[in-house]
Amino acid sequence: MISIIIPAYNEELVLGRALGALDDAARASGQPFEVVVVDDASTDRTADVAREHGARVVSVNHRQIAATRNAGARESVGEMLIFVDADTVVSGSAVRAAVEAMRAGAVGGGCAYRYDGSVPLYGRLLESLAVHLFRALGLANGCFLFCTREAFHSAGGFDEDLFCTEEVAMSRALHRRGRFVVLRESVATSGRKLRAHSSREVLGLLARLALNWPKSLRQRRGLELWYGERRSDPESTA
Q: What is the pLDDT of residue 237?
A: 54
The predicted structure's pLDDT at residue 8: 97
CA distances from 60 to 27, 42, 71 (A): 28, 9, 8
H helix and E strand count, the chain? 10, 8
Query: Are 46 and 15 contacting, i.e. CB atoms less than 8 angstroms apart?
Result: yes
Q: What pTM was computed for the model? A: 0.94
Q: Tell me: the pLDDT tens digits for 17-76?
A: 999 999 999 998 889 999 999 999 999 999 999 999 999 999 999 999 999 999 999 999
For strand 108-115 and strand 144-148, is the pairing parallel, antiparallel, or unpaired? antiparallel
pLDDT reading at 127 higher than 70:
yes
Sheet of 88-89: strands edge to edge? 56-60, 33-40, 2-8, 80-84, 144-148, 108-115, 180-189, 88-89
d(Cα 11, Cα 19) in Å, to the nearest integer? 11
pLDDT digit string (tens) for 166-201? 999 999 999 999 999 999 999 999 999 889 888 898
Average pLDDT (215-238) is: 79
Contacting residues for 203 by C-beta, under 8 A, at least 6 apart: 122
Q: What angle do CA 231, 232, 234 make, to 5 degrees?
A: 125
- How far is it, in rounded angstroms, from Cα 106 to Cα 90? 20
pLDDT at 104: 98
- CATH 2.60.120.20 given to domain 2-192: no
